[in-house]
Structures are given as structure tokens and as C-alpha cells.
Amino acid sequence: MVRRLFQKMPRVPRHAYTLAAAALVACAAVQDVQTHRLDNGLTLHIAAGHPAPVVAVQAWVGVGSADESPPMAGVAHVVEHMLFKGSSGYGLGELTRAIERGGGEINAWTAFDHTVYHAVLGRDHTEGAIDAIGDALLAPRVDPDELRREREIILEEIRQGADDPARSVAQSLFATAFVAHPYRRPVIGTADSVRRLGERQLLEFFRSFYVADNLTLVVAGDVDPSRVKKAVERRFRSMPSGRPQRCVAAEPVQSAPRASCTLRDVSEAYLSVGFHVPAARHPDLAALDVAAILLGQNESARLPRMLRDRDQLATSAYANVHALRDPGLLVLSATSKGGDAHAVVGGLVDRSLELTEELSTEELDKARIAAETGFVRQLETAQGRARSIGWHATVAGDPQFGHVYLDRIRAVRRHDVASVMRRYLRPENASVAAILPKRTSASATKRFARQAEQRVRRSLAKAPVVAAPVEKRVALPNGMVVLVRRDASVPVVAMRAVWKGGQRVEDARTAGASTLLARMLTRGCGKLDASAVADRIDRLGGSLGGVTGRNSFGVSAEWLARTWKPGLDLVADCILDPRFPQAELARERRLLLDDQTAQADSPTQVAFRVFSEALYGDHPYARDSLGTPDAVADLSRSALASFYADRYPVSGLTLAIVGDVEIDEVIAAVQARFGALPKAKAIAPAVKTLVIDGRTATEREVYRYLDRQQAHLVIGFPGATVDAKDRFALELLVAILGGQSGRLFGELREKQALVYRVSAHSIEGIDPGFVAVYLSCSPDKLPTAIAGVRSELERVRTGGVSPDEVERARSYLIGSHQIAMQRRAAVANAMAYHEAYGLCWQSWAGYDDAIRAVTPGDIAAAAQTYLRADRAITATVQPPSASPAAIKRSKLPVPPKKSPAKKPARKVRAPRGNV
């Protein structure tokens, strides 16, 4: 439920939510924003007008972890959790169900400077959402028993965060860079501080900060502003006034570089270098944000291009600015092999400093295009628009601040970028954090920290009203199918090229070939090498990449409306004339093998891999889409080219294009590039029949060991195919089991406080997919959690479901589908996949009706069909166990017995694999 600064660190964040993108969104959004201030001081912003019947309601409370005293660390986050536990008008779980009945979703996050409660749902339920959120914010109930249970949930969340090295290194960087300011503490608090928090502390904190003057309410979407205003006044007029006094410790000026280093059971090093920068409103932030875009927010950015591609030191590299209410950080981050960590720290600083000496006008133009791309994509959704307005109002202090910031972005010149890099990239302003693989000696941590400080000092010392969409399907003479849908509501064009294939058409010898192909298609085509392709993508303001999965392979692209024609040409060049250069193949093969190794660090992915191997046996679905080390290592350039030619001829291609285009113009352009190609038939090995029955009890109980604080469990069954008649009933069944108001969440988390995460999944395929329940918990709670899951599955299998559950799940699925389909890319995906899988390319639009047609009896029948106990596979990933039965069932070697005179046995590592 917390959505803090360190939630994710993607390997290549092509379209990070930068301050520049947020400003551009707000600049357009605030032009038609109505702002009202209630008598009690509450501020309301209404952004009306949206092409989809969707509304977002967001409550931004101006309090976060930075407002906590050290003994109260984590209280803002605990309050956020407890506001979902019932209020005067809504009982336990009723707030979530009220939103889901409107086909929507509700959640919250806590950050350094604010706490946000956000809902997105159908427009007809706007007033109900305002009432529900208002009741939680005005009259929450804090039940001691619920607090005790929720504390256990938060402790699970803390353990989960501790297992994530990317999140951990980010927290270490802030703890190193800040010595007094609360930004040094984790937003979520610590296990000790959370255990100390009681009912009295929560109530005092709530009464101090949850007051009208400290609340900004944003409503964005297809709404009537006058009705929204009346609803807000009616619900929030009784909220008490008051303006909290912030007492935040001032951060002293840093006088020397700092570094910290820890050892973890990881496969690669996680590295971050941070520099103090001003608060969000400072004029220098615009140039700093442009610098971050140039350094590490797209494929042609300097850090990935130089450190990863040219020097082959890093496996990923990126940069971003943490713009906060108080001074924040410019962060340069990377992952690498443990032995390269020192060199990568120096490389991050050295490559960044080069911006002070060499920066072309073309690179600046690309940064502006990147900002514009973020702008138009955020405008597509009501929730994106609301978030931008809320952020600027709460953190920058002015919903109109986007205008100012956009002017600053437009005014940035080369000397501005050079100036801010010189101003802030100074040795006494630098902090380094590192997490290194455990195979490094313990004494090496202090040595690494000392050498990192010296390396940074040495480097920096040198530094000076919308028309209804129309659509058309055309089959070319060679068999290729073109689908075009015109939607001019936003100047975006999405393209999706799809073949049936992927993992399903691979054998043991070619395992991973489709993934390697997906990575290679954009690494050079026609007359362009890999760098030129990446540069071309950025100049067009787009994104382009290969995609693959269990049942398909293809290309995904998005462009601005004014650049779709050259964008289509680039897509065609990648499909028709990929170069597969030897150097790039070696690089991508190396990175793919690195990814296979790195996946052993994810217990979630290991659990699903063990489950898939047990379920699918020798069927291709048993393998990971990344392939196997031996198969990938043997894929030569000629073998990869032959695989591509055999499996993916143009005759089997479906190309969907959706956006602000003229249909006939698009069809003519596609025919010009693809129409003359001959017809050909795909050549692929026969797929082995999936054997569902006949497994022994031992074969249905599988284990792996991984040294983590939590155990991870998958209980699953053979699932449905993409064309199964009962697939919609199965989807509703999974929705009833999963979700925040589902049976599993209610029983295992809300009632028993056994788990932090529990979810249900239905993955369909051309061949039968799977239905599975996943959870993570403390190892000592695992037997109880397993019993709880099995009990709930048996209950739904034998007792069916209630009409109320069906209605809730139905509303949730329909609302979620409407929210997801706001994006042109989502529509293009749906059209292409439905056509490729033989489901009728327009049938995606009938999803809502198909869900509404499902009855409780259909769901009960689906439970009987798919949740059969004799077909269940139970896969567990947990810390090494001394249980003889568990060791015997594990597919890992039996660890040697320990004696008092000997050192402990080495920790058993998990096999490679992913979901």
C-alpha cells in the first residue's frame, strides 16, 4: 500500500516519471482546472473533460515520513493503512468494496512529503467515491485488534523491502547522504519503530495533520464540476481547520564525500551516487532534470550507452532527480558485476561530468522530446492528470507551477546544464551507497567505502470534443493482416506487430531464441546500427522494442501523431531488414545470460519457475522465456536468422495501428512497405501435448531453497486456453478469490495477519495455461498459510460463490478493463492479439458484456473444472530447511551434515528462472 520513493528501480527506465514530464502534464491540465477553497480551508481542484467515462478522485494530505520524529518513524504509513480499516460509515473492507462496485480501484501511498489516497472508477460513481474517501479521512476507526493485525502486515512489508536490493541501496544512499533530515529514514519506518506505535500515537498524529488546511482534493475526468463541488462541500465541510507546524531538522552542509557498503546474497552489485540538490521550486531543477534525461532515461542516453554498451562495465545505468519539498538528490545508479563496482562508481561520475564540456544542440532537443512524450502519455488517463495537479499543489505549493517549470525547461541551454553540473557535482557534496555480492570478504566493505570516497574525490577534483473512433481490417495478398483504428482524442499513435509463436515454438535447442530476437530487432536494421536506431527513436519522441511471451512474438511501438510515418518506416526496417550485428549479438547474449543469473535473486520468480516445471514437464511452457544458458550460448548469428525466417514470416504477421491517423493513409503506407513480399508458411516443431493427470503426490509437492527472510508459495492448477468458453467465468472466479476485498486477502491477511502479499492469477495460453495462488510470508507461518489457501479453495469449490461476490467482481473487472483501455497501446495490443489468436479482432470490445453474462452457476462450474485438488501443484521457496522430508523432495543436492567442529554449510542457491 505504501508507494515510496524507493519502490522500484527499473533496469532501463525509458519513460521515467520525471519532474519535467509532470510539469508538462500539469501545464496542459491546469488550463481548465477549477480551484475552490472551502470555508474550513480545504482546497479542491476539479479538472473536467475526458474522452473516457472515467474519473479519478485523489486526496493529497500534506504529511509524510519527513514530518515524523525518530520514535514515531513509520506512523504516517501506519495511519494510511488503518484508514482502510473502517470508519463511522464504512465497516472493515466496505470502503474498498464501495469503490469496486463502481468498477474502480482504490489504494494509497505514503512518501516523504505527502500521503495520497486515490481512487479511479466509472464517472457515474463519482459522488460515492467522494463520500467513501471523505468518511475515511474524517471519521476513521482505530480498533486495537485491527491495529495489531495490520502491524503484522506492515512488518511483512518491511521484510519484503529488505529482500529487494534495488530498494535497499536507494535507502542506504539517502541514509548516507542525510545525517539529520528525516529523509534519511525509510518512509515505511523500521520494525522496531512500527512495533512501538500504539493507538494513542496514531490518533495524535491523525488529529495533528489530517485537517482541512493540510488537505488538497483533486477530481479529474468526465465529471460535472458543479456536482463535484457540491458533493465535496457536503462531505468535507465538517473537517476541522488547522495548519500543522512542521518541525523538521535542518540538514547541515556536507563537507566531505561519504560512502557506505553492505554485503548481500545477490548476483550483482547495486550502486548509487547521490548529490544534494535544491528543493522542487528552485530554478536550477529544470536544468538538473534535463541533465538526468540526457544521462540515463533512454536507450541513447550517455550512461547506458557508454558504461553498458561501449565499456561493458555495467549491466544497467540510469539517472534521476528526486525533487522534494526540501532539498533532494540527483542520483546516478547502476548495476554491475561485483568486480567492476569500483570502476562503475568512477564511470558514473566521469561520464556525468562530460556534460560540462560536451553537449550538442541535438541532445538537448532529444531531452525536450522525451519530456513531451511523457506529457502526452500522462494526459491519456484521468489518474495521471490528477496526480500531476496534486503533486504540484502539495509539493511545489501551486497547481499552476507547471507553467513556470515548462518555461524553465524551454529556456535551458547548454551552458545551463554545464553550470548546474559544476555547481552540484562537487566532492564534498557526494555520497555513495553500494550493495555487493556476499562472496566479497567482510573486511572489503570498509575498504570499498574508503576507495569509493577517494575515487569520487579524484574524479570531481578534475571537474570544473472527440469524434467517435473508426476502424478497418485489411488482409494483404501475402496473408499479412492490417488493423487500423482512428482515435484523435490525444496526439499519440500506437503500433503492435504480433506473430503466434514465442516460447511455444521453441525447443530445448532454441530455448530463449524469441527473447534474444526481441532484443536484437532494434539493435540495427537497414542502414542503421544500434546507436543510430536508438537515436532515431528518441528524435521521433517514441518507443520501439521487441516483445515476446509464451504464445507470441512481435514489436511494440508508440509515436507522436506527427512522427508516426517515419516511426512506421523504422518498425518496417526492424521487421524486414534486421542486421543482427555480431558485436550486438554478443552483447545481448551476454546481457541475457546475466539476466538469467540475476533471476535467482527473486524468490517470487523462482517460485513460479518451480511451479511451471512441475506442471508442464516437457511442454515448452515449462521453460523460462529467457531460455537456458546452454541454448542461448549456442545461438549463432546464422542460427538466430534462420529461426527468425522460419518461425516468423510476414505472412503470419498481424499489425495493429491505433491513434490520431487517417485510416486509408495508414493502409497505403503499410502496403507500400509490406505488400510486395511473397507468401510463406511458418516452420516450427510440433508442440508436445500437455499431460495434466497422472502425477504422484511427491511430484505435486516441489521445493527450492533460497536464503531470504520470507517464504514464497504458489499453489496452482492447469488453466484455460485463450478460446475456452468458460474463460470469463474463470476470470471472475479469480477476482473473487484475489484482490483487496477477495476471499484470500480477507482471510489470510485481514483476519489472520499471515501474509503481506496474496494474489490469485489466471494465465491463459494457446495450450492450457494455469490458475494459481501466490503469497509470501514468514517461514514459520507457511504451514498455516498453506492450510488457509487450501481451505479457501475447497470452500469455493464445494460451496460456490454468492451473488454479492459476483457483482463485486463483475464491477471490478469491467471498471479495471475500462481504465486499462484508456491507452492507445492497450487497444492496439487487444486488437492484434485477438486477431492473431483467431478470436476476432473486434471481440475485445465485447469484454464488458461477456463478463456481465457470467452467472454464479458458471463460476461454480469453473471452480469444479479448474480447482481440482488431484491436479494441484504446490511450489515452495523458503530458507534452507533441516526437514529430511523437505530436503528429500527438493530437487537440490542434499546439504552436508554439520558438526560442531566444522564451519556451517554454504547456503543453497536457487536455480535460474522467472515467471
Average pLDDT over residues 480-509: 93
SS3 for 447? Answer: helix
What are 375-394's pLDDT values in tens digits? 677 778 999 999 999 999 99
Sign of CA dihedral 300, 574, 379, 848: negative
Report H helices in 197-278. Answer: 199-209, 225-236
When pLDDT is cut at 50, 70 and 90, the band that residue 403 belongs to is confident
What are 191-216's pLDDT values in tens digits? 999 999 999 999 999 999 999 999 99
In which element (H, E) is residue 576 found? helix 564-576
Distance CA(409)–CA(289), nearest Å, equals 9
Long-range contacts of 529-534 (CB under 8 A, 24+ apart): 529/579, 529/581, 530/309, 530/581, 530/584, 531/300, 531/305, 531/309, 533/570, 533/574, 534/298, 534/299, 534/300, 534/305
pLDDT tops 90 at residue 101: no
When pLDDT is cut at 50, 70 and 90, the band that residue 22 belongs to is very low
What are 30-65's pLDDT values in tens digits? 447 899 999 999 999 999 988 889 999 999 999 999
Distance CA(117)–CA(286), nearest Å, equals 28
Of 348-357, 602-611, 688-697, 899-908, the least confident: 899-908
pLDDT mean across residues, the chain? 88
What are 599-630's pLDDT values in tens digits? 888 899 999 999 999 999 999 999 999 999 99
Q: What is the DSSP-derived secondary structure letter of residue 900?
A: T
126-138 and 225-236 helices, crossing angle to 10°: 20
Distance CA(28)–CA(376), nearest Å, equals 10
Q: What is the 3-state secondary structure (H, E, C) of 815-878?
A: HHHHHHCCCHHHHHHHHHHHHHCCCCCCHHHHHHHHHHCCCHHHHHHHHHHHCCHHHCEEEEEE
Distance CA(769)–CA(716), nearest Å, equals 10
Give every CB contact of residue 316 below 8 A, 6+ residues apart in sequence.
Answer: 11, 12, 304, 308, 334, 335
Q: Which three cell numbers stand for residue 648?
A: 516468423
Residue 885's pLDDT is what?
53
Residue 369's pLDDT is what?
81
Average pLDDT over residues 645-651: 96
When pLDDT is cut at 50, 70 and 90, the band that residue 651 belongs to is very high
Residue 24's pLDDT is what?
46
Residue 779: name the closest of 717, 715, 705, 716 by CA.
705
Residue 642's pLDDT is what?
96
Residue 469's pLDDT is what?
54
Residue 613's pLDDT is what?
93
What are 715-742's pLDDT values in tens digits? 999 999 999 999 999 999 999 999 888 9
pLDDT tops 80 at residue 368: no
pLDDT tops 80 at residue 162: yes
Average pLDDT over residues 134-147: 93
Say if strands 430-437 and 492-500 run parallel, antiparallel, or are unpaired.
unpaired
Residue 803's pLDDT is what?
93
pLDDT tops 70 at residue 633: yes
Q: Which three cell numbers stand for residue 624?
A: 523460462
Distance CA(753)–CA(817), nearest Å, equals 30
Q: In the chain, helix, strand, coil percent, each to 5? A: 50, 20, 35
Residue 242's pLDDT is what?
87
- Residues 289/374, Cβ–Cβ less than 8 Å: no
Give every CB contact of residue 753 below 8 A, 6+ residues apart in sequence.
Answer: 148, 149, 150, 152, 153
Residue 379's pLDDT is what?
74
- In the block, residue with C-alpha cell 496526439: 491
In which element (H, E) is residue 272 found? strand 269-277
Between residues 887 and 61, which one has the greater pLDDT? 61
Distance CA(214)–CA(397), nearest Å, equals 11
Average pLDDT over residues 118-137: 94
Beta-carbon count within 10 A of 240 CB: 12
Which residue type occupies 577? D
What are 288-312's pLDDT values in tens digits? 999 999 999 888 899 999 999 999 9
Residue 416's pLDDT is what?
87
Distance CA(620)–CA(613), nearest Å, equals 10
Of 337-346, 605-614, 876-885, the least confident: 876-885
Average pLDDT over residues 224-230: 96
When pLDDT is cut at 50, 70 and 90, the band that residue 411 belongs to is confident
Residue 694's pLDDT is what?
63
Q: What is the reported pTM?
A: 0.82
Q: Distance of CA 419 to CAs 293, 365, 422, 462, 733, Å?
A: 16, 18, 5, 15, 58
Reading across the β-sheet that carries 755-763, which strands appear in turn?
Answer: 701-705, 873-878, 711-718, 770-777, 755-763
Average pLDDT over residues 580-609: 92
Q: Which three cell numbers stand for residue 527?
A: 542502414
Distance CA(892)–CA(687), nearest Å, equals 29
pLDDT tops 80 at residue 513: yes
SS3 for 184? Answer: helix
- In the block, residue with C-alpha cell 492528470: 385
- In the block, residue with C-alpha cell 551476454: 590
Beta-carbon count within 10 A of 795 CB: 14
- The full DSSP string for 697-719 is TTTTEEEEE---SSEEEEEEEE-
Residue 14's pLDDT is what?
30
What are 739-798's pLDDT values in tens digits? 888 999 999 998 999 998 999 999 999 999 999 999 999 999 999 999 999 999 999 999
- Residues 8/166, Cβ–Cβ less than 8 Å: yes
- The full DSSP string for 18-81 is -HHHHHHHHHHHGGGEEEEE-TTS-EEEEEE--SSSEEEEEEEES--GGGS-GGGTTHHHHHHH
Reading across the β-sheet that carries 328-336, which strands appear in turn?
Answer: 258-264, 430-437, 269-277, 328-336, 314-322
pLDDT tops 70 at residue 685: yes
What are 269-289's pLDDT values in tens digits? 999 999 999 999 999 999 999
Residue 392's pLDDT is what?
92
Sign of CA dihedral 838, 842, 847, 850: negative
Residue 543's pLDDT is what?
94
pLDDT tops 80 at residue 237: yes
